[in-house]
Amino acid sequence: MAGISKSNDANSMGGPLANKTALVTGGSRGIGRAIALKLAELGAGVAICGRDSGKLRATADALRGLTERTFWQTADVTRADEVEKLVSAAEAKLGPIGILVNNAGIGLFGAAHEKSEEEWDRVLSTNLKSVFLVSRAVIPSMIRQGGGDIINISSLAGRNTFAGGGLYCASKWGVQGLSGCMAEDLRDHGIRVSVVCPGSVATEFSGRGPKDKGKALQPEDVAHAVEAVVTQRPGSFMSEMHLRPLRKS
């Protein structure tokens, strides 16, 4: 199922990302929604995907207040066939994707030896396999364009271990390794691959315990980091950015 607004050659409102097209996975809520809105505010046409059509539609409505170039589609980004359809449809409506934000993710916590194979597959497929599948689908177009930005939303759990974090940490450490190798593979094509690693963020995400929302990062903090990445001067890139709340909870 998809929803489309009118497509223009450029965002009539202008901005530093005018004439750019961005795709944000997991873009219907939380961090993904904040990133999508920020990119639209900067002038990009924005495509979002997720599994909840109601929330996708609501976010698309908010995006239309910032850009006429919006597209949304329900998609399971752990399935190659659905990813290919998503990217093809988004580019058909908005033009070649020049910014990809791999944000889709879940968290299941507890001792690794107490987790099922199904839980392992679910976390690794959503958090890591999806990065591989969506990036693979978008990169050929970026190579033809002569450049692009791929931003993978990881976590400080991709750098640190903790009790009960076996599945989640494994997935995020995998994102770190994949991102670093992709950066080396693609830099000669003018494609910048960056990782943003937030600490605790106040969202609906099922974290490992209760959060003091007053001391947690906000989704807009992560969106601001993505803004810094995509507006970086040509010829350089931020390979990895760590975000921490100012005050510890």
Residues with a known catalytic role: 168
* DSSP labels, the chain: -EEE----SS-TT--TTTT-EEEEETTTSHHHHHHHHHHHHTT-EEEEEES-HHHHHHHHHHHTTT-S-EEEEE--TTSHHHHHHHHHHHHHHH-S--EEEE-------S-GGGS-HHHHHHHHIIIIIHHHHHHHHHHHHHHHHT-EEEEEE--GGGT---TT-HHHHHHHHHHHHHHHHHHHHHGGGTEEEEEEEE--B-SSS--SS---TTTSB-HHHHHHHHHHHHTSPTT----EEEE--SS--
Q: Report whether 27 contacts 35 (CB < 8 A).
A: yes
Which amino acid is located at 19 in the chain?
Answer: N
